[in-house]
Amino acid sequence: MNEIKPGLLQRAIYSREELSGDYFILWIWDEALGKLCRPGQFFEIRAHASLGDAEDSRCLPKLFKPISIYENAGGRIGFFIKKVGSGTASLAKLKAGDTLELIGPLGNGFPVVSGRRILLVSGGIGYPPLWYLQKELINHNLIFWLHGGAGQSDVFPCDEVWTMDGSFGKQGMVTEGIANLLNDKKIDLVFSCGPMPMLAQCAAICTNLRIEHYASLEAYMACGIGVCHGCAVPIGNPDKWDYLRVCKEGPVFKAEEVLWNLM
Ligand SMILES: Cc1cc2nc3c(=O)[nH]c(=O)nc-3n(C[C@H](O)[C@H](O)[C@H](O)COP(=O)(O)OP(=O)(O)OC[C@H]3O[C@@H](n4cnc5c(N)ncnc54)[C@H](O)[C@@H]3O)c2cc1C
Ligand code: FES
């Protein structure tokens, strides 16, 4: 039997859900673990090394992949994943009953607030953490959610959809919808998650209008637990800043403190 390293969990996948295109959801069940999770946190996950045959083994990399918590209801924890490369391809092969290896929950997560008028902005695979966040916030805040993707298979339920190819919702970048909405809906807080250029543009708009904004950053991660510093990003102000780790001090940062021009 394999020795389990400290912090390394193994959980059976109890169900798998197919979504559009290359998206799927893996569900595990762990009440105690669910109590530790907060919106915006993530797990490092990978398929258990025993899975796969000789052909598959090329698709079972040793590296864990950072995946946000998509849903957490009484210990029913979901990971909403897009297959993009070899790591997520190995996860895409998993089925109910297979074993998932996990480390987490990791990272700081979003602040959970009440009495605010909130705009959520997600792009692509930035959608899952905001789904969990809106479920936690919906009863105590007014929320409007903008989501953008490349095409129809990259969009999911929200209030307003943008696609780059115009195949669904409004055509263009999701950030084109932000400025008007901030005014019309008297938004006083923005939470965003998605590709770096989207976050930077969202930050520029919010800074200009002096609206509080928290962004969850995407970064390439090696260790995922604060050891390698491979995920560090410049945080502070132009006179005094430091490299902070997305996996440890993040992934959520006050957007006005991110030095977007140095990324
Ligand atoms: C905190 C955090 C939470 C995340 N949550 C989710 C989630 O809930 N669901 C999900 O599907 N994905 C999520 N991701 C992204 C996911 O971790 C990457 O897609 C995955 O690591 C890609 O690994 P791979 O081996 O499949 O592909 P790779 O072979 O590593 O990459 C395939 C392609 O994707 C690009 N790429 C890989 N990683 C990133 C990245 N982080 N940012 C930008 N481009 C990248 C590469 O340039 C390459 O073109 C998250 C990332 C972070 C940092
Ligand atoms: S990925 Fe190693 S320190 Fe963040």
CATH assignment of the domain containing 213: 3.40.50.80
Mean pLDDT of the chain: 92
200 and 240 in a single domain? The answer is yes
pLDDT score at 61: 56
Instruction: Residue 149: give the domain boundaries.
Output: 117-262
48 and 81 in a single domain? The answer is yes
* Contact residues of ligand 2, CB 6 A cut-off: 221-224, 226-231, 245, 247
Identify whether the C-beta of residue 199 lies closer than 8 Å to the C-beta of residue 213.
Answer: no
The reported pTM is 0.93
153 and 84 in a single domain? The answer is no
Q: Does the beta carbon of 19 sit less than 6 angstroms from any atom of ligand 1?
A: no
79, 106, 133 - which closes a domain: 106
92 and 198 in a single domain? The answer is no
81 and 123 in a single domain? The answer is no
User: Which residue CA neighbors atom 23 of ligand 1 most closely?
Assistant: 87
Assigned token pair, 177: 């919808």
Nearest residue to 94 via CA among 42, 47, 43: 47
106, 131, 151 - which closes a domain: 106
How many Å lie between the centroid of ligand 2 and the Cα of residue 128? 21
Determine the atom of ligand 2 nearest the C-alpha atom of 219.
1
pLDDT score at 21: 86
pLDDT score at 7: 82
Answer yes or no: is 112 within a domain.
Answer: no
Q: Is the peptide bond before 128 cis (omega within 30 degrees of 0)?
A: no
74 and 178 in a single domain? The answer is no
Residues 6 or more apart from 225 whose CB is under 8 A from it? 7, 44, 103, 106, 247, 248
- Total domains in the chain come to 2
Residue scoring higher pLDDT (177 or 88): 88
64 and 123 in a single domain? The answer is no
85 and 122 in a single domain? The answer is no
144 and 92 in a single domain? The answer is no
- The 10s digit of each residue's pLDDT in 28-49 is 999 999 999 999 999 999 987 6
pLDDT score at 52: 52
Mean pLDDT across 229-240: 95
Q: Does the beta carbon of 245 sit less than 6 angstroms from any atom of ligand 1?
A: no
pLDDT score at 229: 95
Assigned token pair, 181: 């909405």
87 and 42 in a single domain? The answer is yes
- The 10s digit of each residue's pLDDT in 67-115 is 999 999 989 999 999 999 999 999 999 999 999 999 999 999 999 999 9
71 and 198 in a single domain? The answer is no
CATH code for the domain of 101: 2.40.30.10
Q: Does the beta carbon of 8 sit less than 6 angstroms from any atom of ligand 1?
A: no
Confidence of residue 50 (pLDDT cuts 50, 70, 90): low
How many Å lie between the centroid of ligand 2 and the Cα of residue 225? 6
